Amino acid sequence: MMDYEQLITSAVESAKGIEYESFTTSLRLPESAAKEEENVFKRDGIIGKEALKTRMGREVREKIEKISGKKMDLNGDIVFKFDLDSSTVGIEIKPLFLLCKYRKLVRGISQTRWDKYDSSVEGFIVDAAEELYGCTNAFLHGSGREDVDVRMLGDGRICVVEIVEPRKRSVDTKMLEERVREISQGAVELRVIRQVGNEYVWITKEAHFDKEYEAEVEFSGEIDEEMLGRITAIRAVEQRTPLRVKHRRADMVRKKHVLNIEVCEKNEKRIKFRIKTEAGTYIKELISGDDGRTRPSFAEAAGCTAKCTSLDVINVYEYISEWW
């Protein structure tokens, strides 16, 4: 077995290409030493005795602090993983988590990477992050998602960007924002709010926020003021899982609330609406009725077919970005 002090020196040397301010350690003892200690504890008891792994772990951390000048922290930037049985050490680089908002200004871009589409919001962020952070990957964890043909406007959608194994950590996030804008040729904008812990991934994905949309709707017949009144009065809605997503989601009926509908522009059979709803409402189906799977709908209220020809998310009423 290699002298473990030599192993510590080797570990610190191997981390020189990684930017970190703090570290933690994990330690695996040789099987023979662990077995011998277990036998001693069984024979003599454990009262007043410090476990070998505890003592050696403390010594390892103290020596790393002395050699590297870095601080020990249970939530350190990297983990030195010592295996004293095989005389090896590995380094785990902890991910970075950035609370962000993104705006998608062009249709035809998916939120996350998908073989079906050439471009994604996540893909542009990955390219920028790999360049700036020297990371091996990155992930976008969004609070919900808009369809590929829907723009995300307004102040943007709250999300967490996870940067995997970053070899650089002290990157000016303004540079990340600028590179995303450049790489996407202005199709996507990212705004970094602050660095957060990994718990924000769960918080962001599980949160449910009211949303506001602008929808252009084409009706098959003329729409008079009485019909518009019935449409803008829609509030309680029952939506069965839409036909377009039934293959990947449970077929069930969801009760949703429409908070407000108002007319923005009217041009014969084409009308632009502003629609505010609670989270999880299917807007395209609220308009079309989805063959009776959503009731009431714009089509039912108008007494003719209704099709959403363009849709934008213009506001997500989130509150996470205001947390300290």
Q: Report the catalytic residues.
A: 147
Q: Largest Cα–Cα distance in the chain? A: 92
Cβ atoms of 61 and 73 closer than 8 Å? no
Say how many C-beta atoms besides its own lie within 10 A of residue 219's C-beta. Answer: 21
Q: Could you give the strand order of the β-sheet that contains 71-72, starting from the edge strand earlier in sequence?
A: 71-72, 22-28, 78-83, 88-93
Classify residue 15 as exposed, middle or buried by CB count within 10 Å of its CB (0-12, 13-18, 19+): buried
Q: How far apart are the first and last CA of the chain?
A: 48
Say how many C-beta atoms besides its own lie within 10 A of residue 292's C-beta. Answer: 10
Cβ atoms of 33 and 90 closer than 8 Å? no
Residues in the chain: 324
Q: Which of 309, 312, 300, 290 lies closest to 239 in space, CA to CA?
A: 290
Say how many C-beta atoms besides its own lie within 10 A of residue 202's C-beta. Answer: 11
Cβ atoms of 89 and 26 closer than 8 Å? no
**Quick one: CA dihedral 260, 314, 193, 205, positive or negative?**
positive
